[in-house]
Structure 1
Amino acid sequence: MSTMPVIDHYEIREGLGRGAMGSVYLALDLKMGREVAIKILQREFAQSAKHRERFDREAKAIAALKHPNIVGIYDYGGSPDEHLYLVMEYIAGAHVGKLCRENGVFPASVLGAVGLELASALSHAHKAGVIHRDLKPENVFIDNGRLVLVDFGIVKAIVSDNPLGAAAASPKTDVIGTPGFMAPEQLVQEPLDNRTDIFSLGSLLYFLATLKVPFDADSPYSLLRQFRETRPTPLAELRPDLSDTLCSLIHDCIEIERDFRPKNVEMVRRRLREALDEIGVRDARELLASYEKDAVAFAAEDNERVAHHLVERLKIATRDKDAIAIDSVRNRLGIIDPDNEEAQRITGVDEVLRQKPRGFPVGEKRKSGLIFVASILSVALVSAALVLAVSHGNSNEPSAEVEALPTSPQPICLLRVRSDEPIKVYLGGKDMGGTPNFAPAIVPCGPSVLVFLQPGGDRLTEMVELVPDSEKVVFVDWQRGQVHLREPGKKSNRRMR
């Protein structure tokens, strides 16, 4: 006869996890003869009307959001005097935080596949009018290749027509979530929307790519300061093997201002699909199953497959004389497979890069707006030196600051950006700041990829040649699709898109 504790007809077997308000156990459903996960709310919280309401919302949310990437619910019951419980399907696989810590940072393919599957779950929830509010590694599991989002304990309705009831859509919100993954608006009790989950999704992908959260602090106050005063280290620096497509998407998702994030998860899904297509991933679930089965064997096979597809993309980019694509693909190949013989046999690559660079618009539909990129080197270098000296005013060795200025033989240029609309500026995947208060930046010369991002995720990419000790102005007219390049004293060179 079993001596295991029994709640109704559920025999408790072992603990699976513990949270602030309750615990999750592996249990046996004695009626159905199947293993289940049972979440039990602690008695002190079960006796609180506020926490009972939250527990009830979680049950309703899971029941309403039937989706392959969302945990399923079987039962809900109990009483405040004893216990409240929620019975869900048992997910035998590990959460992505455990997988990442055991196997190391996720490869680009796994990162993209996790993002794609998770975006599918979020899209389904958002269409139903609810947001998760607590995306973190411990709430995302992989089981036989199936990604499963769990723990809807702090789910919130964002529209009145939702499965949780109109009262759940109140604009009032508690400061609740997981620091490191929660959006800035969650800390200041602003009304939330679908972009709150998008920020958390970006933070989660950043963590899985680096084992670091983009904004790290030990208190809500410190986290707010981080949001105001710092920027995450560019992924292009931490993970140069990742594509520009994936890096820029993740950084777009973790923008402090919501208007600069993608408008909805469908936009995120499209860009993740693009990132996976670039490396030949067709079936995300099949790929995750392969990784879950043997991460070491997967890494070798994945590296070979990615290198093969990058070589094919390099051939196409060379044929199309696409200098931006050539530069991006060749850089990634240099990290993934630097001695790839097939890539070395491709002819015409250097000839394309020596030609005058061309720009290409990418992304969603363009909005009107003017972007100016100007380099006025003779005056600007002096100004930049003064700015650097002032910003390091606490130093007791002024001479060291002078020596730190870019006086080495490496050619440099000064980048200025102005626009009549707020935009973000990225150079080679690095966040350079935004307008209207864009600070002059000293940047390396040579072919450079500039990405301009407008609120809502619309973007424009342009490759320009930054010539040493010269002045160049790039004028982009978003509405007309025209790019003007000129050097001081010369007429504008207008290129139609």
Structure 2
Amino acid sequence: MTSPVPTLPSLAKYELLEEIGHGGMATVYRARDPRLGREVAIKIIHKHLRENSEVGARFVAEARAAAKLRHPGIVEVYDVSAEEDGDRYLVVELLRGTTLRKILQQHRDMPAEIGAAIVLALCEALEHAHASGIIHRDVKPENVLVELPQDRVQTSNRSAPSRPDRESDASDTPAPLSAQRPVSSRNEGADPGDSRVSRKSRRGDLGVIIKLTDFGIAKMLDAQGVTSTGQVLGSPAHMAPEQIEAGEVDGRTDVFALGVLMYECLVGHLPFEGKNPAQVLRRVLEGHYPAADRERSTVGGRWSRIIAGALARTPAERTESPGKLGEQIRTELEALGITDPSAEIAAYFEDPAGHAEALRALLVPRLVARGERARKARDVQGAAADFNRALALAPNDLSILKRVTSLTSSNARRLLARRLAAIVAGSAVLGFAAYGIARWHKSQPTSLETEALPRPQTVAPSGPTAAPVADVAPRDTKASVTSPLEHAVRTPRKVSPSPAVTSAPAIDRATPRKVVFEIIPKGASLVLDGREVNWFANTFSLAPGPHSVEISVPTSKCCEPKSLTAQIAPSDDPNEVQRFVWKLEPRPATVALSGAPANAQLACSEIGLAIGPGSIKGSAKLPDVQWSGRCDFTPPSAEEAPRRATVTLRAGEVNQVPWPP
């Protein structure tokens, strides 16, 4: 016996066709407007909430607030129910797609530039809403609708006035980044008439439509009283601290939510996580989260700093508006040669794996070139961010590793030079002070009880002489790590007994020497002689002999930890640096086919991976922490041709590979 089909509600002006969504406040239906001959989405408030005056007022506020907005990135409101209607409903434009939440679940390895381009579209939509006095207060992936070209169903009896007509020739296919010329500023780049990407921009056709919806808990700055009960509204993981504490809410509250959303787009998970909402709220209030580039090295330091500005705990320290956040995103995209973010989004969703690989190949040389410019301009932080991200994208490129090493050494030398200059300056001040004190004592009369001793006669040497240095016992460095400054202060200088002696002083084999550590992956932690130290971009001063070393990646399961001994060799040259380069062994990667038919097969010959038939999981040993390569997808039916696509895998993780590729 089949269960009866649920009866759809009946509205006087609209014909309901099917239920397409269900939330805590309302149910959403696909419907047809017979007067205009178009399909729409209708949100009908739940019956048990219909009599609640506050909920009803909030629902009406949603309609009035959203109806004021006209922006391509905001779902358009067409109609709202009247007081005499039996049901309270809202009529909005219909998008045949899905939510950003589902997109992120399917594309956890989305390139940083694609995620940033999506956030840029939301920044522009929210800036428009804020200009109209409306704060969303609940920006999250569930409230972002994404319609891909393949989601659209064109019918003869359907019109879509909110979307421009589309060309049907081959030029409508989105052009990937590789088809564009690199630019260095917003005013430079490709000729507007020389590419199909530019024609798409002039038409305003995004290819992929991204719209912000659900202003159901929006607060209008010009209408108070709807949410004045002190109730905390929003989603815990996306709420700003001032929103949690029922403080003053303004446009920067939405900026914080955009920062959370951007973090998830670029990193693959939320910045604030916990076992329950209470833990999440506490971590938001504390403002503690792992940096984006530490969680995923391919994000890079520059994107990580933009996210950090949006996630600042206090509104005063936070990026001031969605428009400013959008400017930062656009500037970074253009610096990397992406002049049309919407076209880049469309190209990615047309071929995610292929476009991600093409984007990686194009970004690496651009990051290296910008890093070199930053290095020459003595912008060490910028150079390090670009070189490190380039190395994360191309971990086997030894030329990039050499640049990172060179930058580390140069930075250490500059730091040591500054410290020594400070020591010299301090010594000069002390010397002048000592000279003044000596002159003052010389001018005082000799005590009657003390016989004045004759001053010994000295002969001025013909060459410069070294001033004696107090003999300070060197520190035992075997149990701890000393900095170059401590080395410079604590190591006694050998002084020749006579200026006439020209032979080199004897070398003290117990003198510490400079040591630099280079570890792959760069997110690894180093425990040196029982103490965790920050090894990146630092130079250590260690005593000759053995030192215990433990290396691991505590934030990831990518690699096998390693315990070893670093043997520090004595050196006659105090400026000679001893380098240690270690690479952790990647753990096997587990691969799980998602949505694959029975007896389907996947083979990645480069890493020896073979899955199926009759299985959906397998494992492989990767040559590095992350591996990308072409794999063969063989369907069970002989009528379907095998496919070959790029697959990206991470060591130590369960990697979901969607089927079909």
- For normalisation by structure 1, the TM-score amounts to 0.67
Which structure's relative contact order is higher, taking Cα pairs within 8 Å and 6+ residues apart? 1
- Residue in 1 that maps onto 2:410: 354
Equivalent residue in structure 2 for 1:292, among 328, 349, 353? 349
Structure 1 residues 347 and 260, CA, compared in 2 at 3 Å: closer, same or farther?
closer
- Residue in 2 that maps onto 1:226: 283
Q: How far 1:304 moved relative to its partner?
A: 2.1
Structure 1 residues 4 and 241, CA, compared in 2 at 3 Å: closer, same or farther?
same
Q: How far 1:243 moved relative to its partner?
A: 2.8
- Residue in 2 that maps onto 1:19: 23
Q: How far 1:355 moved relative to its partner?
A: 6.7
- Tell me the amino acid that sits aligned with residue 256 of structure 1: R
Q: In the TM superposition, what are the counterparts of 1:216-255 in structure 2 within 5 Å? A: 216-217=273-274, 219-229=276-286, 231-255=288-312
Q: Quick check: 1:96–1:137 contact (8 Å CA) kept in 2? A: yes
- Residue in 1 that maps onto 2:65: 61
- Residue in 1 that maps onto 2:14: 10
- Residue in 1 that maps onto 2:327: 270
| 1:444 to 2:534 alignment | yes
Q: Quick check: 1:183–1:199 contact (8 Å CA) kept in 2? A: yes
Aligned to 1:327, the other structure's residue is in SS state helix
Quick one: distance in 2 between partners of 1:32 and 1:231? 52
- Residue in 1 that maps onto 2:89: 85
Equivalent residue in structure 1 for 2:241, among 184, 200, 204? 184
Structure 1 residues 88 and 356, CA, compared in 2 at 3 Å: closer, same or farther?
same
Q: Deviations over 1:407-432 (max 9, x none)?
A: 57797999xxxxxxxxxxxxxx99xx
- Residue in 2 that maps onto 1:202: 259
Q: How far 1:156 moved relative to its partner?
A: 0.4
Equivalent residue in structure 1 for 2:108, among 94, 104, 107? 104
Q: How far 1:350 moved relative to its partner?
A: 3.6
Quick one: distance in 1 between partners of 2:37 and 2:136? 31
Aligned to 1:74, the other structure's residue is in SS state strand
Quick one: distance in 1 between partners of 2:325 and 2:218? 21
Q: How far 1:22 moved relative to its partner?
A: 0.7
Structure 1 residues 120 and 32, CA, compared in 2 at 3 Å: closer, same or farther?
same
Structure 1 residues 321 and 21, CA, compared in 2 at 3 Å: closer, same or farther?
closer
| 1:145 to 2:201 alignment | no
Quick one: distance in 2 between partners of 1:244 and 1:348? 14
- Residue in 2 that maps onto 1:44: 48
- Tell me the amino acid that sits aligned with residue 37 of structure 1: A
- Residue in 2 that maps onto 1:281: 338
Q: Quick check: 2:17–2:32 contact (8 Å CA) kept in 1? A: yes
Equivalent residue in structure 1 for 2:122, among 96, 104, 118? 118
Q: Quick check: 1:24–1:37 contact (8 Å CA) kept in 2? A: yes
Aligned to 2:88, the other structure's residue is in SS state strand
Q: Which moved more, 1:254-263 or 1:69-78?
A: 254-263
In structure 2, stretches of 5+ residues that fail to align are 1-6, 148-206, 416-421, 424-477, 487-521, 524-530, 543-661
Q: How far 1:128 moved relative to its partner?
A: 1.5
Quick one: distance in 2 between partners of 1:413 and 1:233? 30
Q: How far 1:232 moved relative to its partner?
A: 0.7
Aligned to 1:241, the other structure's residue is in SS state helix
- Tell me the amino acid that sits aligned with residue 334 of structure 1: L
Quick one: distance in 1 between partners of 2:10 and 2:485? 72
Q: Deviations over 1:373-430 (max 9, x none)?
A: x99xxxxxxxxxxxxxxxxxxxxxxxxxxxxxx957797999xxxxxxxxxxxxxx99
Structure 1 residues 346 and 174, CA, compared in 2 at 3 Å: closer, same or farther?
same
Quick one: distance in 1 between partners of 2:119 and 2:406? 35
Q: In the TM superposition, what are the counterparts of 1:339-488 in structure 2 within 5 Å? A: 339=396, 350=406, 354=410, 444=534, 447=537, 468=540
Equivalent residue in structure 1 for 2:391, among 329, 334, 337? 334
Q: Quick check: 1:187–1:220 contact (8 Å CA) kept in 2? A: no
Quick one: distance in 1 between partners of 2:351 and 2:483? 46
Q: Quick check: 2:481–2:541 contact (8 Å CA) kept in 1? A: no
Quick one: distance in 2 between partners of 1:67 and 1:41? 25
Q: Quick check: 2:252–2:319 contact (8 Å CA) kept in 1? A: yes
Aligned residues: 376
- Tell me the amino acid that sits aligned with residue 306 of structure 1: L
Q: Quick check: 1:142–1:288 contact (8 Å CA) kept in 2? A: no
Quick one: distance in 1 between partners of 2:217 and 2:67? 15
Aligned to 2:238, the other structure's residue is in SS state coil
The structure richer in helix per residue is 1
Q: How far 1:319 moved relative to its partner?
A: 5.3
- For normalisation by structure 2, the TM-score amounts to 0.51
Structure 1 residues 306 and 15, CA, compared in 2 at 3 Å: closer, same or farther?
farther
Quick one: distance in 2 between partners of 1:347 and 1:154? 51
Q: Quick check: 2:31–2:40 contact (8 Å CA) kept in 1? A: yes
| Identical positions, percent | 30
Structure 1 residues 407 and 240, CA, compared in 2 at 3 Å: closer, same or farther?
farther
Q: Quick check: 2:74–2:212 contact (8 Å CA) kept in 1? A: yes
Q: Deviations over 1:210-267 (max 9, x none)?
A: 3322222455543343235561112121111113221112122222222221122222
Q: Quick check: 1:318–1:349 contact (8 Å CA) kept in 2? A: no
- Tell me the amino acid that sits aligned with residue 349 of structure 2: E
Quick one: distance in 2 between partners of 1:121 and 1:325? 30
- Residue in 2 that maps onto 1:312: 369
Q: How far 1:205 moved relative to its partner?
A: 1.4
Q: Deviations over 1:171-221 (max 9, x none)?
A: 665211112111222222222111111111111112223332222245554
Q: How far 1:115 moved relative to its partner?
A: 1.5
Q: How far 1:105 moved relative to its partner?
A: 3.5
